Amino acid sequence: MGSGTAEVLVEALDALLPQQQCRRCRQADCRTYAEALAAGQAAVDDCPPGGEATRHALAARLGMTLDPARPVHGAAEVLLARVDQLDCIGCTRCIEACPVDAIVGASLARHAVLAAHCTGCGLCLPVCPTDCITLLPRTAADEAPPPRVARQRYLARRARLAQSAAGAANAALVDLADLTPVRLRDEVLEAVRRRRENDRSGPGP
């Protein structure tokens, strides 16, 4: 299979997935699972959130015959995360773990889940130090986000984190390209001078 054909297959398989990014398929995300499926390195029954409908759709796209005696591993449930405001300590760990930026809040401030964006992946549960997050069945008033929207939010978050990491790395580097040899020497000598002054002054009383 050529690279172009393989990419088309991966895109098609990824589009069939629920985009919860829950990792219950033992892959890093839905896209990685689609890549493993396309490469014949994963089974179509490893997506519990997708249930039988997704299993059949994946098998049809891959031209596979399903084994009726081998159902999907796990239950297909549509869940929603809830934060108990009384026990939340504002540690932000759930915010960092959420793959679709569905949890809002600030450090040392109580957090809340945006129901319209939560995919119910459950990745926020194990990182919560106070066990104040629970997964509850969704009601008719709390519809899960469409897979296409969930995927867009996941990709947007990944892009934002990559940009933030690149910016932090650039800020931590001294831009030597802007320093002439003379200026670089002066910068080093000034740093040495400050260090010697600090050493002579010693610790305060």
Q: What pLDDT does 3 receive? A: 65
CATH superfamily for domain 3-62: Electron transport complex subunit B, putative Fe-S cluster (1.10.15.40)
Q: What was the pLDDT predicted at 166? A: 78
Please provide the distance, in angstroms rounded to a whole number, between the alpha carbons at the two ends of the chain. 74
Residue 152 has pLDDT above 80, yes or no: yes
Write the CA distances from 185 to 48, 144, 146, 178, 180, integer angstroms: 61, 60, 58, 13, 8
Torsions phi, psi of 8, nearest 5? -65, -40
Does residue 60 surpass a pLDDT of 90? yes
% of the chain exceeding 70 in pLDDT? 79
Residue 24 has pLDDT above 90, yes or no: yes
- Mean pLDDT confidence for 113-129: 96
Which pLDDT band holds residue 186 (cuts at 50, 70, 90)? low
47 contacts 17 by C-beta, under 8 angstroms: yes
Q: What is the pLDDT of residue 112?
A: 97
Q: Which residues of the chain are in CATH 1.10.15.40 domains?
A: 3-62
